[in-house]
Amino acid sequence: MALNKTTLINQATPDAYISELQTSNPKLYQAIKNIGDVLKTVINLSPLTGIAPVAKYSNVFTAIALTPFSVVHYLGTVDVIVSFYDDLGNILIPTSLVITNNNVVTAAFALAQAGRVVIVG
């Protein structure tokens, strides 16, 4: 068999493999076709609704032991994930973390800490 554009396309297309079933096993062919139709419907998610783009804020911070400090991120939402890292990239866990409002989080550490804060929302 000579390799041409049509042959390559047919070999790369799953329907080309199952099209032979149309005559040899019509029930199996119809079942596979139905699954494909359902998958096309499930996977076709356009237009997407209710999905907002994700924004990120990051900056350095210095915290005094047991003293709350605020981070202003201007992401405009209380639905945020806040992470603190030391200068080596280790995760720091605050003793308290409050999402103060749409643009501010307030944190405190048991010991003095310095590093980077990353807020995603």
Q: What is the pLDDT of residue 77?
A: 93
Residues 6+ apart with CB under 8 A from 102: 75, 76, 77, 78
Q: What is the pLDDT of residue 81?
A: 94
Q: What is the pLDDT of residue 54?
A: 78
H or E element in which residue 114 lies: strand 113-120
From CA 71, how far away is CA 104, in angstroms rounded? 6
- Could you list the pLDDT tens digit for every one of the 121 residues in the chain? 444 444 444 444 455 555 565 667 777 666 666 655 544 444 444 455 556 667 999 999 999 999 999 999 999 999 999 999 999 999 999 999 999 999 999 999 999 999 999 999 8
Q: Domain locations in the chain?
A: 5-43, 56-120
Q: What is the pLDDT of residue 3?
A: 46
